[in-house]
C-alpha cells in the first residue's frame, strides 16, 4: 500500500511546488518499505533534481529530521520522533491505552491493535503481537483503507453521515475475494457495527485472518480511535472475542475522560 510520493501541493494548487512542498516531499520519500535511502533514491522518490534534493537533505540532516550513517545512507532522525511524540492521537494516546491493550493481550494472547483515522485510512499506533501466525503484517505507522479492516469499520461507522456517503461512493480497494467492494453492502456493515458495538472484518486483507474491533470514545463522546483483536479465521470465535474487545475499548474511553452516564 505504498505509492511513490509526489511533490506536495503542486496538484492541489495547479502551480509550481513551493519550497515547503519540496521539503515535505523529501520526508515523504521515506516509508515502511523504504526506511533507508541514498541521496539518489530520495531525489527520485521525491521528484526533485539531485541538486535540490542534496540541499534540502542537508538542511534536514542539520536540523535532526534526517540522519546519515557511515555508508552515506539517510534515515529518519530522532528529532522527528520527538515532535511526533507530542501528537495527541499518537504516542500520547498509546500511553493511555497501553495498559488496557496489555490486559486484552493477556486475556486472549492474540494480536492486539490500536488505530486512528487519517483521512480515508486507518493508521496503526500500537500493535501487540500474539501467538497467532496470521498473514496480516501490521507495523506501527502502517495504514490501510477504512473499509478493509475491523478498526477501520469501527471508525467509519461512527463518522459523520456525509463522510460515510462520500467514502462509500468512492473506489473501494480489493485485497482478497472477501474484501467489501459493494457500497450497499458496506452501508449495511456500518449499520451493523452501530447496532452491535463491534466490527468484524473477515478475511478482507488476507484470507487467513479475522479481526474484531470496537470504537474508543474521547471525553466529548466522539469516536477517536478503535481497538481490535486479529485471529486466524479458522479458529475465530467472535461471540467470545467481542466482549473482551468491548471491555478494552470501554476502559480506554474512560481513561480518556468519557463518561457513559452523560452519553
Sequence ranges of the domains in the chain: 19-85, 87-256
* 193: enclosing H helix or E strand: helix 183-196
Instruction: Please tell me the predicted confidence (pLDDT) of residue 80.
Output: 83
What's the CA gap between 113 and 251, in Å, rounded? 15
Q: What is the mean pLDDT of residues 88-112?
A: 86
What's the CA gap between 259 and 231, in Å, rounded? 30
% of the chain beyond a pLDDT of 90:
63
Q: Which residue has the higher pLDDT, 135 or 222?
A: 222
Sheet holding 66-68, edge to edge: 36-37, 74-76, 66-68
Query: How sure is the predictor about 138, in pLDDT bands with cuts at 50, 70 and 90?
Result: low
What's the CA gap between 80 and 64, in Å, rounded? 7
Domain 87-256 -> CATH class: alpha beta
Do 87-256 and 19-85 fall under one CATH topology? Answer: no
Query: How sure is the predictor about 50, in pLDDT bands with cuts at 50, 70 and 90?
Result: very high
Query: How sure is the predictor about 81, in pLDDT bands with cuts at 50, 70 and 90?
Result: confident
What's the CA gap between 98 and 178, in Å, rounded? 31
Q: What is the CA angle 10-11-14, rounded to 5?
A: 70
Q: Which three cell numbers stand for residue 126?
A: 500500537
Q: At what angle do helices 91-108 and 238-255 cross, to 10 degrees?
A: 150
Instruction: Please tell me the predicted confidence (pLDDT) of residue 137.
Output: 58
**What would the pLDDT profile of 248-259 be if each residue is shown by its tens digit?**
999 999 999 998
Average pLDDT over all residues of the chain: 87
Instruction: Please say whether the structural domain 19-85 has been given the CATH code 3.40.50.2300.
Output: no
Amino acid at each position: 500500500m505504498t505509492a511513490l510520493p509526489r511533490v506536495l501541493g503542486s496538484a492541489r494548487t495547479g502551480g509550481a511546488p513551493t519550497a515547503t512542498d519540496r521539503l515535505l516531499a523529501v520526508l515523504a520519500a521515506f516509508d515502511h518499505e523504504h526506511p533507508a535511502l541514498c541521496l539518489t533514491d530520495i531525489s527520485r522518490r521525491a521528484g526533485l533534481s539531485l541538486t535540490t534534493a542534496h540541499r534540502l537533505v542537508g538542511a534536514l540532516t542539520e536540523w535532526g529530521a534526517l540522519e546519515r550513517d557511515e555508508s552515506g545512507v539517510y534515515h529518519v532522525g530522532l528529532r522527528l520522533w520527538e515532535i511526533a511524540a507530542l501528537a495527541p492521537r499518537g504516542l500520547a494516546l498509546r500511553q493511555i491505552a497501553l495498559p488496557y491493550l496489555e490486559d486484552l493481550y493477556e486475556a486472549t494472547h492474540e494480536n492486539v491493535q490500536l488505530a486512528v483515522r487519517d483521512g480515508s485510512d486507518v493508521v496503526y499506533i500500537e500493535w501487540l503481537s500474539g501467538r497467532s501466525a496470521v498473514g496480516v503484517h501490521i507495523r506501527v505507522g502502517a495504514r490501510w483503507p477504512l473499509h478493509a479492516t475491523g478498526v477501520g469499520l469501527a471508525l467509519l461507522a461512527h463518522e459523520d453521515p456525509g463522510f460515510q456517503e462520500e467514502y462509500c461512493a468512492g473506489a473501494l480497494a480489493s485485497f482478497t475475494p472477501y474484501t467489501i467492494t459493494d457500497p450497499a453492502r458496506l452501508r449495511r456493515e456500518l449499520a451493523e457495527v452501530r447496532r452491535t458495538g463491534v466490527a468484524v472484518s473477515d478475511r478482507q486483507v488476507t484470507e487467513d485472518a479475522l479481526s474484531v474491533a470496537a470504537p474508543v470514545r474521547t471525553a466529548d463522546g466522539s469516536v477517536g480511535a478503535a481497538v481490535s483483536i486479529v485471529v486466524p479465521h479458522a479458529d475465530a470465535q467472535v461471540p467470545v472475542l467481542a466482549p473482551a474487545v468491548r471491555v478494552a475499548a470501554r476502559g480506554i474511553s474512560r481513561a480518556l475522560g468519557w463518561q457513559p452516564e452523560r452519553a
